[in-house]
Amino acid sequence: MKLAFSTLGVPGLPITDVVRLAATHGYHGVELRVHPEEPVHPGLDGTARAGVTAAFEAAGVEILGLAGYTRVAAPGEDGPVLAEIRGLLELARDLGAPHVRVFPGADAGGGTPDADAAAARRLGTAAEYAADLGVRVLLETHDSHRTGSDVIRVLGPVGHRQVGALWDVMHTWLGGEQPSASYAALAPFLGYVQVKDIASAEDTAPLPLGAGVLPLTECVELLSREGWDGWLCWEYEKRWYPSAAPLEGLLDAGREHLARLLNESA
């Protein structure tokens, strides 16, 4: 498996520094948070996009994916949702990123049949454009659809290879789903896996990998046993928890922890 980290852990950091961190600390790739407050967002012109691509290529570091915030199960018209996904897909194409992340984001009613249907309809439409661009849209286990069983209610009806799943191990755990059940549901659709650690369900501030309660060992063992050979991406959510320790000082230990889990499960 390849290892990456998310720029959610280093909010606002210039791309040259992001690339330096990945190369210096032995990560194969980076998941880029896509937002106007970050260096990478759909508003970038062609020159800026080319500069981002060149910086990663020069360092031999891959852009794993673009973490967008489109809410595909949200109420409202399809048009604005599809336009937002289209912008993410075009940015991913220009940067050479194979994946874009979207959220479910249904309203307070949660994963209702209407929300599921809206998400499936929008993703099905986006899939054709994604196929033309060679990019895959991944629906994250998150918010209104935090378990694998929630997400496959959407992905099953879509049935397109360019639409898959991003398994966030914290959210499936918070949803009460065992890793084996999450994997069984998501395996046919799985794009990559986000790992992290927290103190408890009540305290989700980011901790160094291995210092919390999430079943990382079980998840990695399961993935290895099933022969899955994709990406593990450490999403350290410092953007939402400014008092958390800086990610830069944790990157070596985090990589070593994941490597140890991979070796032990081999």
Q: Is residue 23 predicted with pLDDT exceeding 80?
A: yes
Looking up residue 225, the CATH number of its domain turns out to be 3.20.20.150
Contact 142, 136 (CB under 8 A): no
234-239 mean pLDDT: 97
Residue 83 lies in a domain: no
Q: What is the pLDDT of residue 109?
A: 67
Domain residues for the domain of 131 are: 2-77+89-265
Residue 184 lies in a domain: yes
Residue 145: DSSP 8-state:
B
Q: What is the pLDDT of residue 263?
A: 87
CA 213: distance to chain centroid? 20
pLDDT classification of 139: cutoffs 50, 70, 90 = very high
Residue 134 lies in a domain: yes
pLDDT classification of 82: cutoffs 50, 70, 90 = very high
Q: Which two tokens stand for residue 141?
A: 């286990």
Proportion of the chain above pLDDT 90, given as a percent: 96
**What is the CB neighbour count within 10 angstroms for residue 155?**
23
Residue 66 lies in a domain: yes
Residue with tokens 């992905």: 155
Burial class (CB in 10 A: 0-12, 13-18, 19+), 203: exposed
Residue 82 lies in a domain: no
Q: Is residue 256 predicted with pLDDT exceeding 80?
A: yes
Residue 12 lies in a domain: yes
114-141 mean pLDDT: 97
Domain count of the chain? Answer: 1
Q: What is the pLDDT of residue 163?
A: 98
Q: Residues 119, 120, 126, CA angle at the centre, nearest 5°?
A: 90
Residue 54 lies in a domain: yes
| Cα–Cα nearest to 63, from 103, 35, 91 | 91
Q: What is the pLDDT of residue 266?
A: 63
> pTM of this prediction?
0.97
Q: Is residue 111 predicted with pLDDT exceeding 80?
A: no
CA distances in angstroms from 129 to 1, 64, 93, listed in the order given: 29, 19, 11
